[in-house]
Structure 1
Amino acid sequence: MSTSPDGAAGKVVVTHALHTEAYTRLREQCAVDMNTAAEPWSRDTLRGKLRDADAVVAFMTDRIDRDLLESAPRLRIVAGALKGADNIDMQACSERDVWVSVVPDLLTAPTAELAIGLMIGLGRNVLPGDRHVRSGAFSGWRPRFYGTGIHGSVVGLLGLGAIGRAMAQRLQGFGARVLYHDRRPPAPGEELTLGLESASFERLLRQSDFVVVCLPLSGETVHMLNRDTLALMKPGALVINPSRGSVVCEADIVEALQQGNLGGYAADVFEMEDWARGDRPQGVTRELLEMDGKTLLTPHLGSAVHEARKAIESEAVANVLDVLHGQVPRGAANALQGRGADAPATSV
């Protein structure tokens, strides 16, 4: 879909469909070329559309790297409808005086909310129970489908960024002991306020019934949960991953599940989605899909809340309009030396 009002402020490429409100606001001021299909554009298609674009609204399926930027000489901003920017080459953008903006605060609550749902769904065998009822075999209560509840458990949060803090807030009413591991100390008094206990990485893995991944993807966190670290976990423990797929090694998760060392794995994110990795797999690990009853897998539902998505898109559009009207984008995640402006990077 392509539209262009008279006196357009610039051309904006939108790689996935926006809700009506955000699209209308953008269309009123800019020439808009938007993908209305469910599937992402091919790399070559996106490259062609960016040749005369001033801005692009990017989503999870886009990899904005140095090579792509070479084909976009007019580009002034990559406005991510994203919390993080690991699929965007921040350094390359900065070198070319291209702003990168993200929406760090708008995805936190829905992501933490889904993570709690994954904990309950996996721990309490909700999916196997549902299948049992639908099979016609259910004839009343029987002593089966016993699982792990949150109350009285030890929950380990890997990372205490925005998502980790949101998880801690939501866990306060569940009667769990909550450990966290993060190299950055929390604000004074925050441990007490959130009911948290600091732990080394090893102790957190050894003591936790649930380990919740609350980390961004970086060179330091890729495959942080692997064969060696998973082996430290207590037998039957559950891993919950609402953050980034590649923080865990899916093949090693499968191995730990097969050997019975790990009790279950729930994920809303997968290694195949991490475009920042040149070696990313092309699909979800097959064995993970086949482990019925031990896995709970959702299709990146963390932000799949109507009002949250509308707010995310609205903020991305606002960042585009900021730049096209000569201002620093409110969600700036990089600094441009050529324009003498500084903006702090965001973290999960």
Structure 2
Amino acid sequence: MNEQALTGKPKIVATNPVFPETRALLEQHATLEVNPALEPWSHEEIRSRCRDAAGLLAFMTDSIDAEFLLACPNLRVIGAALKGFDNIDVQAATDAGVWLTIVPDLLTVPTAELTIGLMLSLGRNIVAGDRSIKQNGFHGWRAELYGAGLAGATVGVIGFGLVGRAIAQRLAGFECRLLAYDQSISRELEETLPPQVTLASFQDLITRSDYIVLALPLTAETRHIINSKTIEEMKAGVRIVNPARGSLVDEAAIADAIDRGHVSGYAADVFECEDWALKDRPTGIDPRLTNASAPTVFTPHIGSGVTEIRRQIELSAARSILDALAGRVPFGAVNHPVNQFRHAQSGAR
């Protein structure tokens, strides 16, 4: 007997800790089961807990595929507290009659802000300077840690959707030249570009840019868009910044290029090892990139890590789950499942 039959309320599973406001909202309408620990549940643990669940509040740590959905026959909606959804099989969810919702807009500004921080930290050796003082003390100015500023630099932004445009908007005040590449940019957007942004081909952008910033989703076509071949075509001394998805870059190729001195630095908030849907992903970050002397700046996937923003992201995902369970089209839906037979059959509706 499933949870709804026992309590009269549908069961919702949250795979990570949630804000009190999220818990209060969901518990008004459902029986809620929450992971209280920072360590994510395993794929098998989530699947086990979702066997009788109608809703799933999912996070970046989760991977949902056809096998998972088959094992959770009562599931009607996955509310993802994120924007990128490459770790969830959308077609499998649609075929299973399960809504998938995302939060399309709240992550844009904090991700753009962090990107600027990564660029400045990387170019101006802020992390290296901090580490030097903490380890060695400060004994006055020395002729060391000379880096590169943004003023007068050419910055190429690959991907010019909401996040790419927000990054460009914030860079405008730094007096740098901005190039943008997006293979699907609309004519309307092209006609309204700010004067400091120039559209460029991918080839033109990577050969001219002093900084290259990635702001595009992970797909089969964009995986390893930064690889050994494209790196060789970049300017010597280029700095690469990745706040989007780890597997947009081949991290081993980045490490090779840093070793050769062709790439001056790499900053990232995301890493190949966390793209769970890719079976051949590496198990960790290349140790050459995490070496204390490496010209790298890394943050632990905190692009949207602003407290109030995270609260609003969770609440948005939670409301979408409740809408779907109430029979309404949920906000942020990326699919529209028509196969509801299994839910009618199981009595989940």
TM-score tier (shorter) = over 0.9
**1:220 and 2:248 correspond:** no
The residue aligned with 1:343 is: none
Which letter maps to 2:55? A
Q: Extract structure 1 runs of 4+ deviating beyond 4 A.
A: 188-191
The residue aligned with 2:35 is: 35
- Cα contact 1:125–1:293 (8 A) shared by 2: no
Q: For 1:286-325, what aligned pairs fall within 5 Å after superposition?
A: 286-290=287-291, 292-325=293-326
Q: For 1:1-348, what aligned pairs fall within 5 Å after superposition?
A: 8-186=8-186, 187-188=188-189, 190=191, 192-193=193-194, 195-290=196-291, 292-338=293-339
Q: What TM-score do you get using the length of structure 2 for normalisation?
A: 0.93
Aligned counterparts of 2:292 and 2:140: Cα–Cα separation in 1: 26
- Cα contact 1:227–1:252 (8 A) shared by 2: yes
Once the two structures are TM-superposed, the CA of residue 189 in structure 1 deviates from its matched residue by: 5.6
Aligned counterparts of 1:185 and 1:137: Cα–Cα separation in 2: 50
Task: Give the match's secondary structure for 2:73.
Answer: coil
Once the two structures are TM-superposed, the CA of residue 25 in structure 1 deviates from its matched residue by: 0.8
- Cα contact 1:154–1:177 (8 A) shared by 2: yes
Once the two structures are TM-superposed, the CA of residue 292 in structure 1 deviates from its matched residue by: 2.4
Once the two structures are TM-superposed, the CA of residue 301 in structure 1 deviates from its matched residue by: 0.9
Q: 1:194 to 1:116 in 2, by over 3 A?
A: farther
Aligned counterparts of 2:74 and 2:96: Cα–Cα separation in 1: 10
Q: Which runs of 5+ in 2 are unaligned?
A: 341-349
Aligned counterparts of 2:213 and 2:292: Cα–Cα separation in 1: 20
The residue aligned with 2:347 is: none
Which letter maps to 2:155? V
- Cα contact 1:172–1:194 (8 A) shared by 2: no
Once the two structures are TM-superposed, the CA of residue 192 in structure 1 deviates from its matched residue by: 3.8
Aligned counterparts of 2:292 and 2:231: Cα–Cα separation in 1: 18
Once the two structures are TM-superposed, the CA of residue 29 in structure 1 deviates from its matched residue by: 1.3
Q: 1:34 to 1:222 in 2, by over 3 A?
A: same
- Between 185-194 and 95-104, report the one with greater CA deviation: 185-194
- Cα contact 1:8–1:31 (8 A) shared by 2: no
Once the two structures are TM-superposed, the CA of residue 338 in structure 1 deviates from its matched residue by: 3.1
Task: Give the match's secondary structure for 1:193.
Answer: coil
Q: Which runs of 5+ in 1 are unaligned?
A: 340-348
Once the two structures are TM-superposed, the CA of residue 135 in structure 1 deviates from its matched residue by: 2.6
- Between 306-315 and 198-207, report the one with greater CA deviation: 198-207
* Count of residues in correspondence between the two structures: 337
Aligned counterparts of 1:259 and 1:208: Cα–Cα separation in 2: 19
Aligned counterparts of 1:133 and 1:224: Cα–Cα separation in 2: 37
The residue aligned with 2:343 is: none
- Cα contact 1:51–1:71 (8 A) shared by 2: yes
Aligned counterparts of 1:145 and 1:315: Cα–Cα separation in 2: 44
- Cα contact 1:152–1:176 (8 A) shared by 2: yes
Task: Give the match's secondary structure for 2:49.
Answer: helix
- For residues 84-123 of structure 1, give each alpha carbon's deviation from its aligned partner in whole angstroms, at most 9, with x where no partner exists: 1100000000011100000010111111100000000000
Once the two structures are TM-superposed, the CA of residue 201 in structure 1 deviates from its matched residue by: 1.0
Once the two structures are TM-superposed, the CA of residue 296 in structure 1 deviates from its matched residue by: 0.4
Aligned counterparts of 1:117 and 1:266: Cα–Cα separation in 2: 10
Which letter maps to 2:32? V
- For residues 172-193 of structure 1, give each alpha carbon's deviation from its aligned partner in whole angstroms, at most 9, with x where no partner exists: 1110100011112342565542
Q: What TM-score do you get using the length of structure 1 for normalisation?
A: 0.93
Once the two structures are TM-superposed, the CA of residue 291 in structure 1 deviates from its matched residue by: 5.5
The alignment yields a C-alpha RMSD, in angstroms, of 1.8
* Percent of pairs with identical residues: 46
Task: Give the match's secondary structure for 2:37.
Answer: coil
Aligned counterparts of 1:201 and 1:291: Cα–Cα separation in 2: 32
- Cα contact 1:12–1:30 (8 A) shared by 2: yes
- Cα contact 2:288–2:294 (8 A) shared by 1: no
Once the two structures are TM-superposed, the CA of residue 222 in structure 1 deviates from its matched residue by: 0.5
Once the two structures are TM-superposed, the CA of residue 155 in structure 1 deviates from its matched residue by: 0.3
